[in-house]
Amino acid sequence: MSDAYSRPVTGHVPVLRLGDVLLVTLQGDLHDSTAQQLQQDLAETISRTGVRGVLIDISGVEIVDSFLGRVLAEIAAQAKLLAARTVVAGMRPAVAITLAELGLTLPGLSTALSTEAGMELLTQQTPAYRPDGPRQESP
């Protein structure tokens, strides 16, 4: 395809650990298999590290269709089974309007305006917050 298109994100999305929270930043146009890979990586990382929260920053995501919506909902559901809370932060207004119009309200998902607000939400409820700095998790 032509160079006018930005390269889609394929492979692994980096998962960062900030104390008791895993931070994932999604950006651009996500390949279906990348989203599914992320879901798997997160489940493994949560169970390995025993973190209490997952923060997914989607402020760089231009569209969320029912596929990505389902992946986000499933990430939250599986994290809950592993005793972690998931917060999706920074959804753009246009994306939120589209999802509401689509009829996808994702009721099981906690949301926050920004990563800061999301972090606050997660750390308030995880008193065992240990600020040991950001650390890259090799997925």
Partner 1 sequence: MPEHEADGQLATPTHEVRDFLHRRREQIAQRWADEPLFRTVFTVSRDEAVEASKVVVDALAQVADSDQVEDPDAAGFSGVREQLARMGAARSRAGLSNTQVASELAALRPPVENLLAADLEEAPAEHLRACSTALTVLMGTLRLVAMQTALSEWQALSDRQRLQLMEVATPVIRLWDGVVAVPLIGTLDSARSQVVMETLLNAVVDQHARFAILDITGVPTVDSLVAQHLMKTVAAARLMGAQCIVSGIRPAIAQTIVHLGLDLDVITRASLSDALRYALHELGADIVNPGAGQR
Partner 2 sequence: MHTAAGVEACLPIRSDMDLVWVRQHVRQAAARLGFGLVEQTKLVTAASELARNTLVHGGGGQMEATHISSGGVQGLRLAFSDEGPGIADLDQALSDGYTSGDGLGMGLSGARRLVHDFEIDSTPGDGTTVRVTCWAAQPPRPREEA
107 lies in the binding site for partner 2 (CB under 8 A): no
How many of the chain's residues bind partner 2 (CB under 8 A)?
28
User: Shortest CA distance to 20 belongs to which of 41, 49, 57?
Assistant: 49
Strand partners, 9: 30
Q: Does 98 bind partner 2 (CB under 8 A)?
A: yes
The one-letter code for the residue type at 4 is A
> Binding of partner 2 at residue 12 (CB under 8 A)?
no
Confirm or reject binding of residue 100 to partner 1 (CB under 8 A).
yes
Name the region of 138 (left: φ>0; alpha: ψ -120 to 50; beta: rest): beta
Given partner 2, partner 1, none, residue 6, with its beta carbon under 5 to 8 Å by kind, binds: partner 2
The interface partner of residue 43, options being partner 2, partner 1, none and the CB cut-off 5 to 8 Å by kind, is: none
